[in-house]
């Protein structure tokens, strides 16, 4: 059994107190506690504490410190429960402390995964060009449960998804594009898929967006790739030359009739 011999306020933090105990050999510093812990346990000079009391007080003080740490982390933006747990582990908070902190945060309504997921979806819809699949994966990484995740994604309407997809298409089509129309469409579809848009949305967006090249643009792109292929295969002759040219340009997505016309133009030029 020990007796509290003295309680002093810390110089650098007026809300923390140093506890000095006397185990029968004179007072000595034992531990420090937060003001809330001091009040809750009604710690005062002359009070007797056994080892169990001291262990409980120190545990609750560690919970309080971790709780304050979590509040600071939350002050920048909303967080999911998993984000808080990961942060506390990174700060080397002992595992037995973390559940108590999470319970307090939920009890005081500082964290709520359902509200977090809804707010996250709204923010992504308003500030980024992402499809629902990417947002879904991000929520999974933040530890959001499946039922909450699916409910929150309903906030991202089909109309908004199509609008975002069309906007991404307009940014994806490069200026002075030298790719064929077919290859351009394939690249756009791949980009939309990587950004998390579903095939249904991609089809609607592709139909509504202006992607088609006019004949002059397509021919210009064909000439660009045709010259590269010609330089590569110009030493070949006859059927072999034509086949290599056709294969190279067809892989680039050009129409076979246009390819044959281009090859005939080259032969006429020779």
Structure confidence by residue, pLDDT tens digits, 181-195: 777 888 889 999 999
pLDDT tens for each residue of 28-77 = 999 999 999 999 999 999 999 999 999 999 999 999 999 999 999 999 99
Q: Is 19 among the domain residues?
A: yes
Residue-level pLDDT at 179: 67
Q: Is 28 helix (H, G, I), strand (E, B) or coil?
A: strand
pTM score: 0.73
Pair of tokens at residue 251: 């892989």
Q: Let me know the angle formed at the C-alpha of 78 by 73 and 81, rounded to the nearest 5 degrees.
A: 80
Nearest to 147 by CA among 183, 109, 113: 113
Q: Are 88 and 70 in contact (CB under 8 A)?
A: yes
Which pLDDT score is estimated for 79? 97
Could you tell me the residue range of the domain that residue 120 belongs to?
A: 113-153
Q: Are residues 3 and 29 in the same domain?
A: yes
Identify whether the C-beta of residue 43 lies closer than 8 Å to the C-beta of residue 5. Answer: no
- Is residue 65 in a domain? no
- Note whether residue 106 is domain-resident: no
Could you tell me the two tokens for 135? 């947002």
**Is residue 257, in this structure, part of any structural domain at all?**
yes
Let me know if residue 166 belongs to a domain. Answer: yes
74 assigned to some structural domain: no
24 conformational bin, left if phi > 0, alpha if psi -120 to 50, beta if neither: left
Q: Based on the structure, what is the number of domains in the chain?
A: 4
* CATH code: domain of residue 246: 1.10.10
Q: Helix axis angle, 181-194 relative to 158-172, nearest 10°?
A: 130
Same domain, 198 and 219: no
Asked if residue 15 is part of any domain, the answer here is: yes
In this structure, are 164 and 148 located in the same domain?
A: no
- Is 185 part of a structural domain of the chain? yes
């Amino acid at each position: 059994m020990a007796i509290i011999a003295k309680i002093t306020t810390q110089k650098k933090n007026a809300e923390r107190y140093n506890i000095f105990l006397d185990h029968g050999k004179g007072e000595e510093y034992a531990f420090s506690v937060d003001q809330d812990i001091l009040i809750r346990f009604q710690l005062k000079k002359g009070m007797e504490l056994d080892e169990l009391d001291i262990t409980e007080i120190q545990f609750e003080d560690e919970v309080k410190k971790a709780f304050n740490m979590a509040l600071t982390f939350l002050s920048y933006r909303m967080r999911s429960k998993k984000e808080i747990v990961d942060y506390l582990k990174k700060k080397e908070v002992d595992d037995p402390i973390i559940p108590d902190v999470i319970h307090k945060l939920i009890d005081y309504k500082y964290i709520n995964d359902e509200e977090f997921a809804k707010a996250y979806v709204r923010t992504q819809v308003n500030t980024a060009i992402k499809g629902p699949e990417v947002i879904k994966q991000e929520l999974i990484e933040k530890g959001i449960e499946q039922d909450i995740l699916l409910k929150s994604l309903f906030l991202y309407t089909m109309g908004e998804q199509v609008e975002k997809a069309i906007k991404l298409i307009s940014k994806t089509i490069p200026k002075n594009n030298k790719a064929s129309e077919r290859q351009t469409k394939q690249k756009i579809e791949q980009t939309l898929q990587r950004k998390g848009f579903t095939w249904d949305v991609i089809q609607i967006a592709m139909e509504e967006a202006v992607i088609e090249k006019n004949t002059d643009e397509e021919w210009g792109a064909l000439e660009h790739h045709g010259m590269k292929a010609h330089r590569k295969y110009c030493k070949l002759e006859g059927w072999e030359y034509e086949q290599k040219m056709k294969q190279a340009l067809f892989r680039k997505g050009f129409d076979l009739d246009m390819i044959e016309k281009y090859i005939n133009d080259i032969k006429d030029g020779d």
